[in-house]
A and B are shown apart, each in its own frame.
Chain A
């Protein structure tokens, strides 16, 4: 017997927040409606099978005017690993100068995703 389920979810790929209606059969997403761009369809499929999130946080930095450097994951990470990644970033210390996009924590927790600087930070 096919188990057909309809799930309503809000796309979080951008601030538009499209309301998506996804149909699932036997754990596989068969159709997505309500999205206004292709990212919505991908989001619904990922969210219902393997939810992923971007991570933004800060790391300590030495030698800059500020104490903290904002960082961002180069791509999405498994939702269930986000808190662990944030914890790992608390142990890291960067050193000024830093350029936007510089890798600050390569391959975080072995998940294959680099954490990079969000902005330039000059040495003082």
Chain B
């Protein structure tokens, strides 16, 4: 019971599993993954569609297939221990190299476990009806898209037969196709923004293929029915997303699925005292994915919501590597701490700062989201002295994360805070 782990990983989804693999490969000897579900894999287990893995594994996989691959890579590693059915209740920061994780499981009851470092990979959860304040009664038949996805793909129930989906994020689009394949009629997908927030491929193969109409700049202003959803009232919205009076129309349906955004799940991080960024709603991290607390790392959707699980794995491998280096006492002291600011046209940028050590610094990958869709733009990265680098981008969309590497040679030359911005074509 007095075993001290090099790394305790909170969450056994693709982030946690990828972090564990990378940590083992980088010298950590005792790694513990804590997962609250009955098996690892996280949300991927209900994402039965394909399109995962092309970047990270160089092959196209389904969600469960991707989870399987992540698990297969660590299941026989002596360094990695996985504890399922285990809910983490609290993380305490005793000192730079002593963290206490309190968790509970049917097998071991309440436990306090000590680790030198912790990696937060709790992922995210869905925004609900309450979060977007749709007026009307509270009849049965209103679900978040992810809850419906779990019912249909893992538990074997259909939430209804005539479906309207609010929100054109990827989960909404994927569910439109999934419900169609199960014989349901999807009446419409509504999107409050003037553009879709899903991947283009999903508009094509999930909506266009099944002749499902997508109403941009529209939202639900009322849900009808007392015991069960009977229909919805839809309205056009103006530039500030306010419903326009007189544009309302009704759609008959028995089910409303909400795909209205994801929130990084940071209750544990907040309680631990990790600094949370107001835009990403996730921990502020450096390029090694170390948070504001020494020895606490974070990666994946808990840091910022990704659109590709491949990037979650990439990010988790970074966190795993540097947590391993820290846990084995090989971390180098940073000599310069540089902020990365989101400038014009950029909504979020991760990491939020770069800690440089003199001499050998590696290339740094920045993950960014644009504020609005634009074509033929230039991405500028500038410090106090001027341009660090620039990169032309054919297309940017808020739904598709921009990933840009600052080469090691250029990282070395950065002397002060940098700002990333997008400039349109002249």
Contact = CB atoms under 8 A, between A and B. Distances in A.
A119 B153 contact: no
A118 B48 contact: yes
B205 A53 contact: yes
A45 B204 CA distance: 16
B156 A70 contact: no
B51 interface: yes
A86 interface: yes
A120 B64 CA distance: 9
Interface in B271-288: none
Greatest chain A CB density within 10 A among B38, B51, B64, B200 is at B64
A56 B62 contact: yes
Scoring A57, A87, A119 by chain B CB atoms within 10 A of each residue's CB, the highest score goes to A119
Nearest to A87: B183
B353 to A, nearest CB: 28
A10 B201 contact: yes
A32 B182 CA distance: 35
Interface string B360-386: 000000000000000000000000000
A58 interface: yes
B199 interface: yes
B205 A12 contact: yes
A53 B209 contact: yes
A67 interface: yes
A15 B64 contact: no
Contacts of A67: 154-156
A65 interface: yes
Contact of B308 (A11, A15, A58, A83): A15
A9 B200 CA distance: 10
A55 B154 CA distance: 17
A68 B181 contact: no
Contacts of B180: 83
B67 interface: yes
Interface string B205-226: 1000100000000000000000
Given A12-B201, A67-B156, A70-B153, A57 B64 contact: no
A57 B181 contact: yes
A67 B151 CA distance: 10
A57 B3 CA distance: 43
Given A10-B204, A15-B201, A72-B50, A119 B68 contact: yes
Contacts, number: 89
Given A65-B38, A100-B65, A17 B48 contact: no
Contact of A60 (B51, B67, B156): B156
A26 to B, nearest CB: 25
Contact of A17 (B62, B152, B200): B200
Given A65-B38, A72-B50, A86 B200 contact: no
B313 to A, nearest CB: 14
A82 B181 CA distance: 8
B395 interface: yes
B204 A57 contact: no
Interface string B66-78: 0110000000000
B25 interface: no
A119 B64 CA distance: 6
A97 to B, nearest CB: 14
A51 to B, nearest CB: 9
B154 A14 contact: no
B65 A72 contact: yes
B274 to A, nearest CB: 30
Contact of B64 (A12, A13, A90, A118): A118
Contacts of B205: 12, 53
B49 interface: yes
A56 B180 CA distance: 12
A66 interface: yes
Contact of B204 (A12, A65, A71): A12
A79 B209 CA distance: 8
14 contacts: A10-B200, A10-B203, A12-B200, A14-B51, A15-B51, A17-B201, A53-B209, A54-B60, A58-B152, A66-B155, A70-B64, A79-B209, A82-B181, A86-B182
Given A58-B153, A119-B65, 18 more contacts: A10-B200, A12-B200, A12-B204, A12-B205, A14-B201, A15-B54, A17-B199, A17-B200, A19-B200, A53-B209, A58-B48, A58-B152, A68-B153, A68-B155, A70-B64, A82-B209, A86-B181, A100-B65
